[in-house]
Chains A and B, each alone.
Chain A
Amino acid sequence: MDQLNNYLFIAAALFSIGLFGVITRRNGIAVLMGVELILNSANLNFVAFSRFGGMNLDGHIFALIVIVLAAAEAAVALAIVINIYNNLNTINIDEASSMRE
């Protein structure tokens, strides 16, 4: 039980760090890295619950799907970042605020 708590704490920490990164970083790449951290914290949770919750391999399979999804997401997101760079000559996402008003 305690082991599960440890995993969950680590996952929560990862999530918080990731969220913090997503919210505060100005660099688009760094924001993407935060997103990866959040996804991985979720993966950690899946696997931990799967392992300690007696749910066989369900969680593992979910974790694998999330990794695949993260890869796809990273590809799309990096493409967006490149487009932002092409348009604005920077990857500082604070500059990408043309949605305002």
Chain B
Amino acid sequence: MASIFIQYSLVVLFLPLVAFLIQIFFGKRLPRQGDWVSIGAISITLVLAIIMFVRMIIEYDPGFKHEASFTWLDMGEFKIRLGFLVDNITVIMLLVVALISTCTHIFSTQYLKGDIRYSRYFAYLGLFTFSMNGIVLANNLMSMYMFWELVGVSSYLLIGHWFEKESAANASKKAFLTNRVGDIGFFIGIMILYSAIGSFAFSDIFDGVAKGLIAGSTLTIAGVGLFMGAMGKSSQFPLHIWLPDAMEGPTPVSALMHAATMVAAGVYLSVRIFPILTPDALLVVAYIGGFTAFFAATIAITQSDIKKVLAYSTVSQLGYMILAVGTGVYTAAFFHLLTHAMFKANLFYGSGSVIHAMHHALHEKHDHDTDPQDMHNMGGFKDKMPITYWSMLLSTMAIAGVPLFSGFLSKDAILAGTLSFAQHHPSHFLLPVFGFGAAAITAFYMFRMMFLTFHGEPKTPGIIDNIHESPKEMTGPLILLGTLSVFVWYTLPYLNPISTHGWFTDLVVPNDAAVPGNLTAKEIKAGAHHAHHLAMYLSIAVATIGIFLSWLTYIKKGLSPEAWSKRSGFLYDWSLNKYYFDENYNRYIYQPSLRLADKIAWVDWELYDKYFINGFGRLTNWVSKITGKFDFDVIDQIIVDGMGRITALAGRQLKTIQTGKLQNYLLYVTAGIIILMVIQSF
């Protein structure tokens, strides 16, 4: 059945690819370097995504589902079917991708004005949007894996957009390689499931698990393997190291990929595969998510680069979502994905706007040494950039978990789930501690960022007069997404600011896990509902504490950050240096690997090449000399030349009977006839 949703989503999928192809081949020759091609294509996808979304809202059916598939590979018994799945989650996700992607396209026209690879940048954005839509639409692990890798490639290309800068080139490499580590697990997980169930499609896998075709530790390993892919893409501990470095890419790219959509792919995958995760696998997921949420938040406190703060904040928020999947409230994870995509993309646009302004102001002053991304060089931008300020403030409220804003709802749902999980399993009390701790720290560092950037006295002399609000291509997305940080968009048709109840919870309802024996969706929901009020009070309390401390430190100056950083000793150092992860990875993983590679290269060159390969060459040489000798002396000299000699000899001998005298010939003929007659007569 060719449903309109499938047709629309096919257009949504392939339109950015078409834009990519046009841009990559003809972009430079088109007027305005072809940005209108990309923007046009992405706007159409946005319109289609909105139409699909509206239709979904009109249908208002939680069981809404359209699926279409085709045989991609047919080798007798071995068939791979790929296909599309459009359900509520897909439609919402498509809208998020299309919306943020459109905003990014428009924002980039100003942010990358005059860039040397302007057209190629838009081409890669198209490639990314195509691949991301592919992940979202996949109804099976195989095509999801393909698009997963494509997303990795486009991330690599866009982080390395300014590849002349060595740090950017390294960051893109790091992002790509770190993702590979997770993807190995992903692939192993896929293969385990395929060998047990014989299909890549989600629905078949869920059926297979429900029937018990795969169970126990094998299923746990498969689940953890798939989750490893999510860990890589969603930048979870210990693979979190690439995301902060990925901020070397252009800021709109950070907003689109490394905040709103691509890194959310890991969460999306976890949400999709939730039904097959065993309790053990879920525990792994929960702890990794919870730990990441807390751990990344503690790093974000001390960072001074505005984008680094946001990057660690993203890691932390992704940890939240993963934690939510692990504790069973996976629809809350998706809800947080949705709200986070809006406010975090907005925060990145805001930071882009600030950096843009700083950059221009410093440029006016011919100052090329001051870091335009360092918050300690900013301050007092509030009145100069009101739109940026207010929209960022809305999003900061949202991420800090202030009531009336979107983040409050989704975070509350997650924390309630965590709390209820810990109430069922008191031994896992650390999970809500991570959750609430991270919430408090998040509120603190987000307001720290706001205060350092927009409040107080200007810290770099002489630039404040040159700080201007960004052009409307940049403020437009800011206003739009800032507005979307308000709770009301997510709870319609209800207007209760402290309840998540709304279209989202009506349409995205959790399914029971396919693993026999797991808690049912109803039990999880009842638990979360039970814990809801406690979680809400606690989260308001921790957010208030965080914001208050931040205000006390950076506005009231009641607490001196310098004194506190001295007093906290090594903790401050660890946080500032990101717990020395890069250094330790370098020392204990990269360097040993490089040394091992050196050793292996030595073995390869000194032993294998010199003795085996060269020895083989020498042996061949020697053998060929012998065979050459044999060929020349025996075959050529005796057999070939011998034939010639025999023929020549025979010729010489037989020549003598050719006397040229006819009578002789006649004599031979006569003699021959006589001989024949004699023979005949016998």
Residues of A within 8 A of B (CB): 19, 22-24, 31, 93-94, 97-101
Extra 11 A-B pairs, beta carbons < 8 Å, given A19-B670, A93-B663, A97-B659: A22-B663, A22-B666, A23-B667, A23-B670, A94-B661, A97-B660, A97-B661, A100-B660, A100-B661, A101-B655, A101-B658
CB of A92, distance to nearest CB on chain B (Å): 11
| A-B pair number, CB within 8 angstroms | 25
Q: Of all chain A residues, which has the CB nearest B655? A: A101
Q: Of all chain A residues, which has the CB nearest B660? A: A100
Contacts of B662 in A (CB 8 A): 93
Q: Of all chain B residues, which has the CB nearest A31? A: B663
Distance in angstroms between the alpha carbons of A72 and B666 in the assembled complex = 22
CB of B124, distance to nearest CB on chain A (Å): 86
Distance in angstroms between the alpha carbons of A34 and B658 in the assembled complex = 23
Distance in angstroms between the alpha carbons of A98 and B662 in the assembled complex = 11
Q: Of all chain B residues, which has the CB nearest A100? A: B660
Distance in angstroms between the alpha carbons of A101 and B652 in the assembled complex = 11
Contacts of A22 in B (CB 8 A): 663, 666
CB of A70, distance to nearest CB on chain B (Å): 18
Q: Interface majority SS on B: helix, strand, loop or mixed?
A: helix
Distance in angstroms between the alpha carbons of A95 and B663 in the assembled complex = 12
Q: Give the total of B residues in contact with A, Cβ under 8 Å.
A: 10
Contacts of A99 in B (CB 8 A): 660
Contacts of B666 in A (CB 8 A): 22-23
Could you tell me which residues of chain B, from 625 to 682, have a CB within 8 Å of some CB in chain A?
655, 658-663, 666-667, 670
Q: Of all chain B residues, which has the CB nearest A24? A: B663
CB of B215, distance to nearest CB on chain A (Å): 98
Residues of B within 8 A of A (CB): 655, 658-663, 666-667, 670
Q: Interface majority SS on A: helix, strand, loop or mixed?
A: loop
CB of B495, distance to nearest CB on chain A (Å): 124
Distance in angstroms between the alpha carbons of A83 and B126 in the assembled complex = 101
A-B contact pairs, 6 of them (CB 8 A): A19-B670, A23-B666, A97-B659, A97-B661, A100-B660, A100-B661
CB of A28, distance to nearest CB on chain B (Å): 10
Distance in angstroms between the alpha carbons of A24 and B658 in the assembled complex = 17
Contacts of B667 in A (CB 8 A): 23
Contacts of A101 in B (CB 8 A): 655, 658, 660
A100-B663 contact given A19-B670, A23-B670, CB 8 Å threshold: no
Distance in angstroms between the alpha carbons of A101 and B667 in the assembled complex = 19
Contacts of A24 in B (CB 8 A): 663
Contacts of B655 in A (CB 8 A): 101
CB of A86, distance to nearest CB on chain B (Å): 19
Contacts of B670 in A (CB 8 A): 19, 23
Q: Of all chain B residues, which has the CB nearest A26? A: B663
CB of A32, distance to nearest CB on chain B (Å): 12
Distance in angstroms between the alpha carbons of A100 and B656 in the assembled complex = 10
User: Are A93 and B661 in touch, CB under 8 angstroms?
Assistant: yes
Contacts of B659 in A (CB 8 A): 97, 100
Distance in angstroms between the alpha carbons of A23 and B662 in the assembled complex = 8
Q: Of all chain A residues, which has the CB nearest B670? A: A19
Distance in angstroms between the alpha carbons of A97 and B667 in the assembled complex = 16
User: Are A98 and B661 in touch, CB under 8 angstroms?
Assistant: no
Q: Of all chain A residues, which has the CB nearest B671? A: A23
Among B655, B659, B663, chain A packs the most CB atoms within 10 A around the CB of B663
User: Are B660 and A98 in touch, CB under 8 angstroms?
Assistant: yes
Q: Of all chain B residues, which has the CB nearest A97? A: B660
Contacts of B658 in A (CB 8 A): 100-101
Q: Of all chain B residues, which has the CB nearest A22? A: B666
Distance in angstroms between the alpha carbons of A31 and B662 in the assembled complex = 11
Distance in angstroms between the alpha carbons of A97 and B661 in the assembled complex = 6
Q: Of all chain A residues, which has the CB nearest B664? A: A23
Distance in angstroms between the alpha carbons of A94 and B662 in the assembled complex = 9
CB of B676, distance to nearest CB on chain A (Å): 16
CB of A95, distance to nearest CB on chain B (Å): 10
Rank and list the top 5 A-B pairs by shortest CB-CB distance, nearest first.
Answer: A100-B660, A97-B660, A99-B660, A23-B663, A23-B667
Contacts of B663 in A (CB 8 A): 22-24, 31, 93
Q: Of all chain A residues, which has the CB nearest B659? A: A100
Distance in angstroms between the alpha carbons of A94 and B667 in the assembled complex = 14
Distance in angstroms between the alpha carbons of A57 and B128 in the assembled complex = 112
CB of B668, distance to nearest CB on chain A (Å): 10
Contacts of A94 in B (CB 8 A): 661
Contacts of B661 in A (CB 8 A): 93-94, 97, 100
Distance in angstroms between the alpha carbons of A19 and B663 in the assembled complex = 10
Distance in angstroms between the alpha carbons of A15 and B604 in the assembled complex = 94
Distance in angstroms between the alpha carbons of A101 and B663 in the assembled complex = 16
Distance in angstroms between the alpha carbons of A19 and B658 in the assembled complex = 20
